[in-house]
Copies of this chain bind each other. A is one copy, B any other.
Amino acid sequence: MIRKIFTLLLSLSTLLTASAQQNLWQRDYSTSPVVNDDKSVTLRLYAPEARSVVAEGDFTTEPMAMMRREDGVWEVTTAPLPSELYTYRFTVDGMCNVNDPSNSYVMRDVGTQMNYFIIPGERGNLYAAQQVPHGTVARVWADAGDGRERRMVVYTPAGYEDSRRKYPVLYLLHGMGGDEEAWSATGRMAEIMDNLIATRRAEPMIVVMTNGCMRHVSAPGYSEEGMWRPYMSGSMDGSFEALFPGIVAWVDSHYRTKAKKASRAIAGLSMGGFHTLHISMEYPTMFDYVGLFSAAVMRQKEGVEIYAHLEEKLAHQFDEGMKLYWIAIGKDDFLYEENVAYRALLDKEQYPYSYYESEGGHTWRNWRVYLVEFATQLFK
């Protein structure tokens, strides 16, 4: 049998070099990335004729020069890294954004594919699949009332299929340039929720990730718009906010939800934080938990009714009350100052909210942390 398998593999590797076959059995030039015992990472790239190769990633403030080995593989090892999910790419002789062909793990953010790796430890383990019960992640199409089916990603927690139980719902919104895939891909939503729920840090909940860029009905490539190049687009004209009750109604009629304010949360990052602010304020009896992650809070377009009368609507919302109004931002975020201004507005009226300030800026690294912090406070 060993011989037969060997013969099979041999025939595969020999024959599949022909262009008529799938060319998967190519030579392995290097092993990359390698997480070392001391939690440093070694990156490698086979580039035999290159004169300069550097690695760029969110583990380093400056590009890291790589060194050429005799066999044409360029190599660099980082300092030991804190536990985290990191992304990286290479620049080779001025050609930038080169993916690591030895690393088949990529995540797309807007139009950019980045390689990634995870350093184990408290933080990184939250973002990696563990041996715990896993929820279901579904791509579904829903007409929320505007006559167009739009794509959503819906997470149902482990056990959903095998019970008659009803669940609370977190609506999780992406930023400008993002789409319904952003939170599950780059945001590690499913891994985070699986791990938090399994360790009883979070309640079992459904998570609904919509597409908040109304000019599209889906992430790139999944609709008849074809393979357009993702770019920094969004919707800040009130149309997404107006559609939201239809989204909630669709979810409540298609999933076993606890269809009440006490069992609904909404949160979003950047533009999604802006959406969250206005949706939660426009429909003050809908959500008991509101999360503004690095939110573009002060970007109201004039002349749009749904953005008008901010202070009156806020008064109404806080009059109705809610269990948690949670604002999070990094010290280096370019939206930091407008969040200061927004909090001053809340403070002036003594509206109760929680505030979480982190290091860093407008990054997924922060948004993953905010999701963890927010999710663990919900539906208790």
Taking a contact as CB atoms closer than 8 A, the residue among B18, B137, B149 that contacts A138 in the complex is B137
Q: Which of A44-52, A258-266, A277-285, A339-347 contacts B (4 or more CB under 8 A)?
A: A44-52
A101 touches B92 (CB 8 A): no
Which of chain B's residues has its CB closest to A112's CB? B24
- Shortest C-beta distance, A27 to chain B (Å), equals 9
Taking a contact as CB atoms closer than 8 A, the residue among B49, B61, B109, B222 that contacts A94 in the complex is B49
A227 touches B105 (CB 8 A): yes
A21-B362, A226-B128 known; A94 and B47 CB under 8 Å?
yes
Q: Pick the 8 closest A-B CB pairs, nearest first.
A: A20-B361, A97-B101, A138-B138, A49-B93, A15-B334, A131-B224, A47-B95, A20-B332
A139 touches B136 (CB 8 A): yes
- CB neighbours of A109 from chain B (8 A): 22, 24
Please tell me if A58 contacts chain B, counting CB pairs below 8 Å: yes
Could you show 11 A-B contacts with beta carbons less than 8 Å apart?
Answer: A1-B303, A22-B109, A22-B361, A31-B229, A47-B92, A104-B111, A104-B230, A118-B227, A129-B218, A134-B149, A136-B138
Please tell me if A299 contacts chain B, counting CB pairs below 8 Å: yes
A236 touches B129 (CB 8 A): no
Known: A128-B227, A134-B141, A141-B158. 11 other contacts (CB 8 A): A1-B303, A12-B176, A16-B334, A18-B361, A22-B364, A47-B92, A47-B94, A96-B101, A101-B113, A104-B113, A129-B218
